[in-house]
Amino acid sequence: MPKLIRRKELLELIEEGENLHCEFKLRFSSPEKIAKEIIAFANTSGGYILFGIDDDKRVIGVQSEKGESELIENAIRDFCEPYIEHSTLYFDIDGKEIVAVYVPESETKPHRITDYNESLDVNTALVYIRVNDKSVQAGKEMIRLFKSYSTDSQLTKYAIGHLEKMVFDHLEKFETISVKELMSNGNLSNRRASRTLTKMVRAGLLLIHTKDNGESYFTIKSWGVI
């Protein structure tokens, strides 16, 4: 997606409606809620947050471009960890002021709501991702994958054991598998089931997906199985 857009492109974004890459905000709500949206775009594939647009695509405008911009900057500075690069653009549509925040996909995932911990805690970190037209809290498996990608620790050698075979057997019957299903099938702890599926994604054997409620599920990556 382009970093800078013109008025025509903004109108096209509005006409398309909210989606994976675009969110409408009638007005600034709270710093933490806006930070959540910005984090979700940075952790996924980037996008725009348009302030002054109602959910039904009506152009309402903001009271003050400067005031809105300051609130956005404060939200990113105080509630996003690590800091998220972004661009703030201003438009006039029929005399109404619109503020557009462009958030590129980050190279330092995962971003989280500031918790003042020295390092990211998978169990407590509030990490958000974009799913369709919503920003949802990421599951532990997605957070672990973000961490592994940021440290470039992709698995290049991975032995297939009985747990992996159990996963493949389940996928052959049902096409998808969740942590809870693997826990039940193998009488495993949540931690072991979660780590098994995460490692299989890192090894290129599975794909991870996220439901609208933030729950992760997994499907087979066809070329990953011999």
C-alpha angle 137-143-148 in degrees, rounded to nearest 5? 160
Tokens for 137? 């809290």
Q: Is the pLDDT reported for residue 1 higher than 60?
A: no
Same domain assignment for residues 72 and 151: no
Domains: count for the chain? 2
Range of the domain at 63: 7-137
Residue 59: the pLDDT is: 97
Give the pLDDT mean for 108-132.
94
Same domain assignment for residues 25 and 75: yes
Task: Give the type of residue at 71.
Answer: L
Same domain assignment for residues 67 and 107: yes
> Which CATH number do you get for residue 168?
1.10.10.10
Q: What is the percent of the chain where pLDDT is above 70?
A: 93
Q: Is the pLDDT reported for residue 19 higher than 90?
A: yes
Q: What is the mean pLDDT of the chain?
A: 91
Distance separating alpha carbons of residues 177 and 164, to the nearest angstrom: 12
**Residue 89 backbone class (left: φ over 0; alpha: ψ -120 to 50; beta: rest):** beta
Confidence category of residue 97, pLDDT binned at 50, 70, 90: very high
Quick check: is 2 in a domain? no
Distance separating alpha carbons of residues 196 and 224, to the nearest angstrom: 16
Boundary (domain end) residue, out of 137, 166, 184: 137
In this prediction the pTM is 0.85
Residue 158: the pLDDT is: 74
CA of 46: how far to CAs of 1, 27, 131, 224, in Å?
8, 21, 12, 28
Residue 3: the pLDDT is: 65
Confidence category of residue 155, pLDDT binned at 50, 70, 90: low
